[in-house]
C-alpha cells in the first residue's frame, strides 16, 4: 500500500511539472510615462511608453495587443496595437502604445496633462502571441501611476482663466410658476465676467467655452457659450493679451439652490464656486491655423445677487 501511495505521489508531481512546463508565462508590463501626441481636439491622443518583459524562458512573438485604459477616471477608446514584435525569453522590450481618449468631460485630466504631473491609470486587455505552444491569448491587467513626459504646454502655454472677482453671479430668472416652486423649475444665472489671459507667445482666437459651474457644491447643467464671432487675443506681453467674456449663462433647478437664493435675495451673499470645462482655441503655431481644446479649472468665492 505504501509503495502504491508513493507511485501515485510521484505521478502527481510529474503531472504538475508537465502542467507548469506547458504554460507560457504572462508578460509583465510597466508603464514608464505618457506623451501627448498633439494638442487635444475632439479626442486626446497619447503614447504610453512602457516596458514589456517576457517572464518566460521561451521567445514569444506578439501579433497584437488589444486594450482599454482609464486615465484619471477617463476611459479610452478600445485600442488595438497590431505591429508584430518578438520578445526573447526573459528579456524586456521598451515600446510605445497609442491611446485615444474622448476630450469631452476630460477637463480635469487635461488640466493635469503637463510635463511632470502624475496620472493614475488602469489598463486591461490581452496579448495575442505566437509561442512554443502555438497561438495563445495572455491577459493584461495593470494599474498604477506614471508621469507626463510631453504635455499640453510643450505645444501651447495654457491661458489663465478666472472669474472677475469684482463681478459676481446674477440670478436673472426664477420663472413664475405657482407656489410652491416645482423641484425641476429652472433658475437662470449669469457669470457676469470671465477673464481669459493668453500666456503663450502666439496670438489666438477664442471660439467657444463648454463648462459646468458648481455653487456651494450644487452643479449646473453643462453649458456652451459661443460668442457671435470668434474673439482674438494677442500674444502674451502685449496690451491685448486678455479678453473679458460677459454674461455667461448657467441653469440650475430651483430646489437645488433654494437656500442660496433665499439668502441672496435679502443680503450681499458670498458663495464658493468652481468652474470646470474646456475652451476651444484657434492659433497658428507655424503650420497654419489649428483648432484645439484647453481645460478650464478655476475656483474661488464671489457674490451672488438676485436681480430685481
Per residue in 69-80, pLDDT tens?
Answer: 999 999 999 999
Q: What is the 3-state secondary structure (H, E, C) of 219-284?
A: ECCCEEECCCCCEEECCCCCCCCEEEEEEEEEEEECHHHHHHHHHHCCCCEEEEEEEEEEEEEEEE
* Predicted confidence (pLDDT) at residue 5 exceeds the cutoff of 70: no
217/210 Cα distance (integer angstroms): 19
192 near 172, Cβ under 8 Å?
no
279/293 Cα distance (integer angstroms): 6
Q: Which domains does the chain have, with CATH numbers?
A: 25-154 (2.60.40.10), 160-306 (2.60.40)
Mean pLDDT of 270-291: 95
Evaluate the omega torsion of the peptide bond into residue 141 and state whether it is cis, within 30 degrees of 0: no
The residue to which cell 420663472 is assigned: 175
Sign, Cα dihedral of 81, 87, 90, 92:
negative
Mean pLDDT of 50-56: 93
162/4 Cα distance (integer angstroms): 82
Per residue in 215-260, pLDDT tens?
Answer: 999 999 999 999 999 999 999 888 779 999 999 999 988 788 888 8
Mean pLDDT of 172-196: 75
* Predicted confidence (pLDDT) at residue 180 exceeds the cutoff of 70: no
Instruction: For the chain, give the mean pLDDT.
Output: 88
* Predicted confidence (pLDDT) at residue 184 exceeds the cutoff of 80: no
Mean pLDDT of 118-128: 96
Quote the pLDDT of residue 7: 43
Quote the pLDDT of residue 257: 84
3-class secondary-structure state, position 18: helix
Mean pLDDT of 173-191: 69
* Predicted confidence (pLDDT) at residue 105 exceeds the cutoff of 90: no
Amino acid at each position: 500500500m505504501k509503495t502504491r501511495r508513493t507511485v501515485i505521489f510521484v505521478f502527481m508531481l510529474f503531472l504538475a511539472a508537465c502542467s507548469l512546463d506547458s504554460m507560457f508565462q504572462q508578460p509583465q508590463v510597466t508603464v514608464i510615462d505618457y506623451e501627448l501626441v498633439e494638442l487635444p481636439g475632439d479626442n486626446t491622443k497619447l503614447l504610453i511608453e512602457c516596458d514589456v518583459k517576457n517572464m518566460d524562458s521561451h521567445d514569444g512573438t506578439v501579433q497584437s495587443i488589444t486594450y482599454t485604459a482609464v486615465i484619471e477616471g477617463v476611459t479610452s477608446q478600445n485600442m488595438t496595437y497590431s505591429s508584430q514584435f518578438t520578445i526573447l525569453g526573459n528579456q524586456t522590450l521598451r515600446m510605445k502604445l497609442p491611446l485615444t481618449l474622448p476630450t469631452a468631460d476630460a477637463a480635469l485630466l487635461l488640466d493635469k496633462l503637463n510635463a511632470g504631473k502624475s496620472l493614475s491609470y488602469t489598463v486591461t486587455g490581452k496579448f495575442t502571441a505566437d509561442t512554443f505552444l502555438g497561438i495563445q491569448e495572455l491577459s493584461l491587467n495593470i494599474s498604477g501611476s506614471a508621469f507626463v513626459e510631453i504635455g499640453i504646454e510643450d505645444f501651447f502655454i495654457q491661458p489663465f482663466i478666472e472669474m472677475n472677482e469684482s463681478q459676481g453671479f446674477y440670478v436673472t430668472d426664477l420663472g413664475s410658476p405657482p407656489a410652491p416652486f416645482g423641484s425641476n423649475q429652472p433658475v437662470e444665472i449669469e457669470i457676469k465676467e470671465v477673464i481669459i489671459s493668453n500666456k503663450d507667445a502666439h496670438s489666438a482666437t477664442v471660439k467657444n467655452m463648454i463648462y459646468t459651474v458648481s455653487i456651494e457644491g450644487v452643479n449646473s447643467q453643462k453649458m456652451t457659450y459661443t460668442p457671435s464671432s470668434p474673439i482674438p487675443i494677442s500674444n502674451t506681453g502685449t496690451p491685448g493679451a486678455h479678453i473679458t467674456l460677459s454674461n455667461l449663462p448657467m441653469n440650475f433647478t430651483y430646489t437645488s439652490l433654494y437656500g442660496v437664493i433665499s439668502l441672496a435675495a435679502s443680503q450681499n451673499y458670498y458663495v464658493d464656486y468652481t468652474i470646470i470645462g474646456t475652451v476651444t482655441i484657434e492659433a497658428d503655431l507655424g503650420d497654419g491655423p489649428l483648432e484645439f481644446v484647453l481645460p478650464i479649472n478655476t475656483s474661488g468665492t464671489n457674490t451672488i445677487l438676485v436681480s430685481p
